[in-house]
Structure 1
Amino acid sequence: MFCQGCSAFGPFWEHYLQYWKESSARPREVLFLRYEELVSDPLEVVRKLASFLGVPFTQEEDGGVAQQVVSFCSFDSLRNLDANKAGGVERAGGKVFIQFSSLFRKGKVGDWANHMSKEMAEKMDRLVEDKFKGSGLVF
């Protein structure tokens, strides 16, 4: 269903491409980040985000405050917030209820391999290549 564009939050491909295109057209207004970037160097991403928002860290803040932001916004910290443990959101006219807690798996890059077969992964790779062809967006 996902490959056909069916998901509780709408067609992934369209959302992703729309943000990608807007970030290319308006780089000072739209910041495009990949999850892999966040995971590989969260401190650098927090610095980049602060600068993008026009409030870069001062020299004094860069170490401690920036690291606190990383800690407060970490996957584990967000997953353990009460607001993300209970409740949810209705989609598809109330036909689907998605619990907030289900939006947090492990937060590990590459964990998809534990949920997809080799054939599914190959199909997804072909689909991603087809959907993003000519956009300049590369994974």
Structure 2
Amino acid sequence: MKCHACAADISGDARICPVCGADVTAAPIVADPLAEFLGKAKAVGKEAMETDIAKDARQLAEEAIAASRRALASETGKSAVKFAGDAVDAGKGAITTKMGKEMAVGAAIGAVIAIPLPLIGPILGAVAGAGIAWYRAKKRDS
């Protein structure tokens, strides 16, 4: 048998290691590798946050937030927010019509079909799908 503290060879009936004096009947202390890894990761992260690059990035982020707040508080920003709200309201109203529902379905299908096609992409696929649905609805209604 081996001592869990010093790895010395000891007899199977020994209770105390003759080399280091450890109690060999007690359960060995096993290090938690996850806790050890997390401790090292925290130390590295803390060290990284104290670098000049991290401090510069933090400063730039704070400046960008402040500039965004100023832009939203301006007349142009307020107009843009109002326009976006109006567009959302118009979209909610349009989806309740038959044509709106067909266009939404067409847009969803077009977006999904276009995902694997890198030259088209989901946005253009959605536009194409909605356009096709609109055209078909107009053709059907005329």
| Structure 2 length-normalised TM | 0.23
| Structure 1 length-normalised TM | 0.24
**Relative contact order: is structure 1 or structure 2 higher (C-alpha 8 Å, sep ≥ 6)?**
1
Pair member with larger Rg:
2
More strand as a share of residues = 1
